[in-house]
Amino acid sequence: MAFSITILGNSSAKPTLNAHPSAQVVNLNEQYYLVDAGEGVQQQLIRRGINPLRLRAVFISHLHGDHCFGLFPLISTLGLMGKQTPLDVYAPAPMGEILDYHLRYFDSDLPFEVKWHEVRTTEHCIVMENSTLEVWSIPLRHRVPTAGYLFKEKQPGLNVDKFKITKYGLSIAQVVAAKRGEDITLEDGTTIANEELTYIPYEARSYAYLSDTAFSAKAAERVRGVDLLYHEATYSKSEEQWAKGRGHSTTTEAAKVATKAEAGRLIIGHFSSRYKDYDALVEECRTIFPNTYIAAEGETFKIEEKRNR
């Protein structure tokens, strides 16, 4: 089952010639979710070979323009493309009011419904759930109410060992019962413990998006053990006071969050326009958390399955 993140934009608020503001796409088994929607996001989707019609939902971290201004033209584009299914938008208040104005004055005759779901930025809770995925809100520390998001793949169901099926002569009904987690009683009265017959095919995977935020130990705790962590690194370590005053993080603070969270990998982005070369920024992170990478535009980060057999 595919689980990947494609970077559409990695810059902060001030526009640049060579970078786009924050936007990413999470793909879990060909189900696509947009995370933040900076300006030009619909062109970035097309440029990266992602059909905007495949988006199931949009998650907005906060109501600063470089994270949400692209949502409104995206909605219009989806209307022009003939989208029929609803688009769910998860975002802090007052995004519902803002969407109402946009729909009233610019997109009053859309062929699909836009559904806003309020994300309470002080709560760590499930904001969306389906058969394969949970999305959790992560309270962050920024100048306006802000939430990060934790995408958690649901634990797969039990598989029954084929060798054990043959060894014990299990019937179809017994195999189904074992998959439900039940112990199995054979015709001779012997009971076989479920754990002897079954195994979990792979471990559930996870991705966390933490932007924008000052250093937060609580956020690190809430994403502990995450396979892949995105954390903003707007400034270099020499700009710590400037970062603190703006509600942002430095490279080394991002690396400390990754360390505390025991993350598998760290990707950094939301870079200030003052930086033309990101290599020095990633190297600062690697002095603390070696498994750090740049959230380069157009790059796709895959979270591979960890098979148990």
Q: Identify the pLDDT of residue 122.
A: 97
The answer to whether 233 and 251 have CB atoms below 8 angstroms apart is: yes
Q: Identify the pLDDT of residue 87.
A: 97
Domains in the chain: boundaries: 3-157+200-302, 159-198
Q: 295 phi and psi, to 5 degrees? A: -80, 75
66 is catalytic: yes
CB atoms within 10 A of CB 10: 28
Residue with more model confidence, 179 or 77: 77
Residue with more model confidence, 198 or 43: 43
Residue 54 has what DSSP assignment? G
DSSP line for 236-288: -GGGHHHHHHHT--BHHHHHHHHHHHT-SEEEEE-B-TT-S--HHHHHHHHTT
**Measured distance CA(249)–CA(309) in Å, rounded:** 40
Residue with more model confidence, 223 or 186: 223
Residue among 208, 207, 205 at smallest CA distance from 139: 208
Query: One-letter amino acid identity for 195?
Result: E
Q: Is residue 173 over pLDDT 90?
A: no
Length of the chain counted residue by residue? 309
Q: Identify the pLDDT of residue 309.
A: 65
DSSP line for 117-141: EE--TT--SEEEE-SSEEEEEEE--
Catalytic residue among 36, 66, 212, 227: 66
Q: 3-state class of 216 per DSSP?
A: coil
The answer to whether 9 and 41 have CB atoms below 8 angstroms apart is: yes
Locate all alpha helices (DSSP H) within the chain, ordered by sequence.
41-47, 65-68, 71-80, 95-105, 162-168, 172-179, 194-197, 217-222, 240-246, 251-261, 279-286
Percentage of the chain beyond pLDDT 70 is 99
CB atoms within 10 A of CB 108: 8
Q: Identify the pLDDT of residue 1.
A: 75
Q: Which residue has the tokens 């933040």?
A: 36
Average pLDDT over residues 24-32: 96
Q: Is residue 34 over pLDDT 90?
A: yes
Residue range 205-258, pLDDT digits in tens: 999 999 999 999 999 999 999 999 999 999 999 998 888 899 999 999 999 999
**Measured distance CA(78)–CA(85) in Å, rounded:** 10
Neighbouring residues of 162: CB distance < 8 A, sequence distance ≥ 6: none
The answer to whether 26 and 5 have CB atoms below 8 angstroms apart is: yes
Q: Is residue 107 over pLDDT 80?
A: yes
**Measured distance CA(240)–CA(256) in Å, rounded:** 14
Residue among 296, 288, 273, 287 at smallest CA distance from 66: 273
Q: Identify the pLDDT of residue 176.
A: 81
Q: Does domain 3-157+200-302 have CATH number 3.40.50.300?
A: no
Question: Mean pLDDT in the chain?
Answer: 93
Average pLDDT over residues 167-181: 82
Q: Identify the pLDDT of residue 60.
A: 98
Residue range 114-155, pLDDT digits in tens: 999 999 999 999 999 999 999 999 999 999 999 999 999 998
The answer to whether 251 and 101 have CB atoms below 8 angstroms apart is: no
Q: Is residue 112 over pLDDT 90?
A: yes
Q: Identify the pLDDT of residue 110.
A: 96
**Measured distance CA(253)–CA(285) in Å, rounded:** 8
The answer to whether 68 and 99 have CB atoms below 8 angstroms apart is: no
Residue 186's pLDDT band (cuts 50, 70, 90): confident
Q: Identify the pLDDT of residue 199.
A: 76
